[in-house]
Amino acid sequence: MALDNSPELLIQLVASLNEPHVLIDQSYVIRFANDAYLQLHNHSGIDSVVGQTCYAVSHGYSLPCDQSGESCPLSMSRESGTRERVVHIHRRAENDLYESIDLTPLKNKRGDIVFFLERLQPLQHFSPNSQREGLTGRSPMFLKMLDHLHRVAPTDTTVLIEGESGTGKELVARAIHDSSKRSLKPFITVDCTALPEALIESELFGHEKGAFTGAYALKRGLVEEADGGTLFLDEIGDIPIGLQAKLLRFLESGTYRRVGSNQLRHANVRLLSATHRPLKKLVENGEFRNDLYYRISTFPLSVPSLRERRDDLPVLITSLLRRIESGITYRVSDQALKLLNAYSFPGNIRELKNILERSVLLCDGKTIKPCHLSIDLASVSQNNERQVDALGRTFKPDEEIGVLLSLGLTKRQIAMKLGVSERTVYRILRSLQ
């Protein structure tokens, strides 16, 4: 039976699937949704969905996603003629949901696309709503990262998580483990920062009693503790070159020796590693082994800086404020949000968290205002490409004053913020006229 004339068989097939599926036509109109889909999205019945466009039902948009500032798997698939996958945030009555969309074009005998079959998979462990723990965000960069995370998590592939300090690399590693088939097994973190070679070796692989002075008892290594689960090497770029060969051998063969023992042992771990240093550069400088680099970076996952996901500031602020146990529900004033928006955040989300923690201590009411934010004004700019920390420049006081004035601060408040007298602020302003 030709697909274009009769989707009945197709509908029967979709109805029989256990996972949430919808059938969409060329004009974005939902032609069928199965029970799993209706249940997941709390739709009262099929009539509330069929005949409507996918972008209206999932997002409340009046135009397709790619005309509403998001990626649209349907137009991507129409263009490529193949299956497409993306992560979207879908609207639900009580709370929104991250969903991985897997869209397959269905073609007729002539090879023309007639329908699109969309499979939706809710991402467990994450929520786009401001929540008390875990990863959160709504920006396109963040959703792309989540899509990559979701693809690699169920496999045993080694992942190299790259990103500036404080971007959430450890949370990403944890999320990969939690979303993997090893989630019920241990997740062991090893912080490789500035530890001497002998110490990391005995931490990783353990030691026998008497192996070295001070080794009073046998010690099991972290690879042994991670057996069956995930080993996360944080700041892998700091692993001393001498130990890199042993690590590589372990990754290739799954075998290792405790310090002071000849016995070959075996551990089955999935390796995740993170770095804020450019590992490729370290390889070029001879500080990191080339072969180890390729072994650990099968799947590089880049975590965006806060500057690259400024749209996420509101949801991150609400989320981080909820994590501060104060018993008070704080809000951030529009002016304070503007100031935060103009800041470069060299320390990323960790710095945002610290700023908010301090602001809560300084704030006597429930509204966080610019005067409660202790941030480095030299790094504040409305033009994000001109940040001190990224480019090593400092801003002139007149530029800073301009920014602060536009944020609604009085001249007195500006003087206090900049640590200059009010007269100086007036003098600079006069010189600008």
Q: What is the C-alpha separation between 366 and 276, in angstroms, rounded?
A: 36
Q: How far is CA 266 from the centre of its chain?
A: 33
Region of 132-140, 205-213, 246-254, 396-404 interacting with ligand ATP (CB under 6 A)? 132-140
Give the DSSP letter string of 57-81: HHH--SS-GGGTTS--HHHHHHHHS
Q: Does 219 bind ligand ATP (CB under 6 A)?
A: no
Taking 3-state DSSP, the helix, strand and coil percentages for the chain, each rounded to the nearest 5, stand at 40, 20, 40
- How many residues form the binding site for ligand ATP (CB under 6 A)? 19
Select from 156, 170, 197, 311 the one that contacts ligand ATP (CB under 6 A): 170
Nearest to 400 by CA among 432, 368, 369, 372: 432
Q: Is 31 in the site for ligand ATP (CB under 6 A)?
A: no
**Smallest gap, in angstroms, from Cβ of residue 100 to ligand ATP?**
18
Q: How far apart are CA 352 and CA 336, in angstroms?
A: 13
Cβ-count burial of 211 within 10 angstroms (0-12 exposed, 13-18 middle, 19+ buried)? middle
Q: Give CA angle at 197 (270, 284), nearest 5°.
A: 75
Q: Which of residues 10 and 272 has its CB atom nearest to ligand ATP in the complex?
A: 272
Q: Is 167 in the site for ligand ATP (CB under 6 A)?
A: yes
Site for ligand ATP in 337-366 (CB under 6 A): 349-350, 353
Whichever of 141 and 198 has its CB closer to ligand ATP, that residue is 141
Region binding ligand ATP by CB under 6 A among candidate stretches 64-72, 74-82, 162-170, 334-342 = 162-170
Binding test (CB under 6 A) with ligand ATP, winner from 276, 277, 322, 331: 276
Q: Which is nearer to ligand ATP, 131 or 333 (CB)?
A: 131
Query: Nearer to ligand ATP by C-beta: 167 or 202?
Result: 167
CB of 200 to ligand ATP, least distance (A): 16
Query: In angstroms, what is the minimal distance from the CB of 123 to ligand ATP?
Result: 13
| Residue 112 amino acid letter | D
Least gap, CB of 254 to ligand ATP (angstroms): 26
Taking CA atoms, 357 is separated from 137, 343, 360, 405, 413, in Å, by 20, 17, 5, 25, 21
Residue 176 · residue 318 · CB < 8 Å? no
Show contacts with ligand ATP in window 236-265 (CB under 6 A).
Answer: none
Positions touching ligand ATP (CB under 6 A) are 135-137, 163, 165-171, 234, 274, 276, 316, 319, 349-350, 353
